[in-house]
Structure 1
Amino acid sequence: MHIGKILGRLATVVGMFFLYSLAQVIVLMPALVSDGHTAWWLDGILFLLVFGALIYFCVTVYHYFLRSEVPRVYHNQRLNRSRVKFLVLMILALVVVQALNYVLVRTGITHEAENQIELMKLMKTATVPMVLLTVLGAPPVEEFIFRGLLMHAFPHQATVRWRWLAGVVSVVAFATAHTMPTDFWNWLLYAGMGAVFTATYAYTKDIRYDIGLHFLNNLVATFLP
């Protein structure tokens, strides 16, 4: 994969992230304009239309990226014993990351991430669309962008160095997109979360397991008191 192709794929990733940000604004806008007084079913229909199209686009671009890889090692993989063990370890790792975040905030070492504070504010005024975005929309779209597309923007099957580079870029981009780089502890916590998802994708070779872990993490984080 020559440098021009890498840059082209990176530009595609940036474009997909822009579309993701735009999709979130579109879904949230009716509830914000009406101060949350929208019918839940209208929010649901808007979410399905916008994110259905976005996820379809993500899947299409993802498979386009994969078609150029020989041999093709990333595809649907059976859930065997080794993958189950690995997924259990990754779930425990996510628990550790969340527990560490709780301890750091409670002890005053760091404060709640700015994006998390804003999300909680939005949750009060736009509850239904925010739950849909956080629990159902974010896991598939973010996994396709930060793992499925960003990691495959590099020839990471070529050598171990390329694989490490793809993984590190994925983790850094994920953490930076979720918090301010100057907020070191919160950035580090999101980097830990991103590392779990990146390791899962690299090990299982199946993005569905990443999406499942991300869904579980966001579900618990959204509804846990």
Structure 2
Amino acid sequence: MNRFNQIFDWIARCFRWVGFLLIYLVDTVILSFATMQVKHPTVVNRSIGMMLIYSAFVLAFITWRYQKQLQSNNPRHFGRTKLTGTRFGQLMAFFFLMYGIQMVWSLLISAHILGTPANQTAVNSQIVQLPFWNLAYSILFAPVIEELIFRGIFLNYFFRQNSRVMNVLGVLFSGMIFGYMHVTSLSTTWIMYSLLGCILGWAYLHFRDIRYNTTLHFMNNALSLLAYL
């Protein structure tokens, strides 16, 4: 019976996590709709207003669920860690590691060894059509909510045990799923996105504070997107 309860609990956690993801994706759909209606300012304004209200709800709800999760089960002692000179240096090391991957990626694209990711092409197109809101969303909002879902909630839902094996598996799986959410096919581009996701997972386990991840994700998105303007 205990084994059955464990399986049922795991399935329930899967459904809840997918639910968080779907709630977030609805927000991106609203923004995409507003972008497509750029020739109709009234529709755009109403859609953006709806998106802002919905985004506030999504952020408040998922942050609340994350905090409740840590209160009920937090074996790794995630929370808030003071920013010191050492941690700042470590944060920058993680950033430059991500930047290095982005540079190699860009060189491979420039050399026509890899194509520009469809996800990046779509984002760039949306930025051209509706620059302010798409940039603000991708740089300011997406990093926060994606770190809460892909690192914060995911690792404590499915890889709770604080052991080396669970930590490695958690980083790998969170990275691969993060990659798949950006590229829905097994490819070199998927590997690149997955590597970035793994670095973010590693950073979360290292700092034990989601704010460091949000900062890394923010800097990475800002660098990637602003380079295309």
When the two structures are superposed, what TM-score results if normalisation uses the length of structure 2?
Answer: 0.88
The 8 Å contact of residues 135 and 218 in structure 1, kept in 2 or not, is answered as: yes
The 8 Å contact of residues 33 and 47 in structure 2, kept in 1 or not, is answered as: no
Q: Relative to structure 2, which stretch is displaced further, 127-136 or 110-119?
A: 127-136
Say which of 23, 29, 51 aligns to 2:27.
23
| CA-CA distance at 1:128 after TM superposition | 2.6
- Unaligned 5+ segments in structure 2 are none
Q: Relative to structure 2, which stretch is displaced further, 45-54 or 128-137?
A: 45-54
CA RMSD of aligned residues (A): 2.2
For 2:74 and 2:142, locate their aligned partners in 1 and report how far apart those are by CA, in whole Å: 30
Say which of 180, 185, 190 aligns to 2:188.
185
The 8 Å contact of residues 21 and 149 in structure 2, kept in 1 or not, is answered as: yes
1:194 corresponds to:
197
2:178 corresponds to:
174
Alignment of 1:106 onto 2:110: yes
Aligned residues: 224
SS at match of 1:210: helix
SS at match of 1:157: coil
When the two structures are superposed, what TM-score results if normalisation uses the length of structure 1?
Answer: 0.90
Say which of 210, 215, 219 aligns to 1:212.
215
Residue 76 of structure 1 aligns with an amino acid whose one-letter code is R
| CA-CA distance at 1:17 after TM superposition | 1.0
| CA-CA distance at 1:96 after TM superposition | 0.4
2:85 corresponds to:
81
- Summarize the alignment of residues 47-86 of structure 1 with structure 2, pairs less than 5 Å apart: 47-69=51-73, 71=75, 73-86=77-90
* Cα gap change, 1:4 to 1:29, in 2 (>3 Å): same
For 1:36 and 1:123, locate their aligned partners in 2 and report how far apart those are by CA, in whole Å: 17
Residue 105 of structure 2 aligns with an amino acid whose one-letter code is N
For 2:209 and 2:41, locate their aligned partners in 1 and report how far apart those are by CA, in whole Å: 40
Residue 106 of structure 1 aligns with an amino acid whose one-letter code is S
The 8 Å contact of residues 77 and 206 in structure 1, kept in 2 or not, is answered as: yes
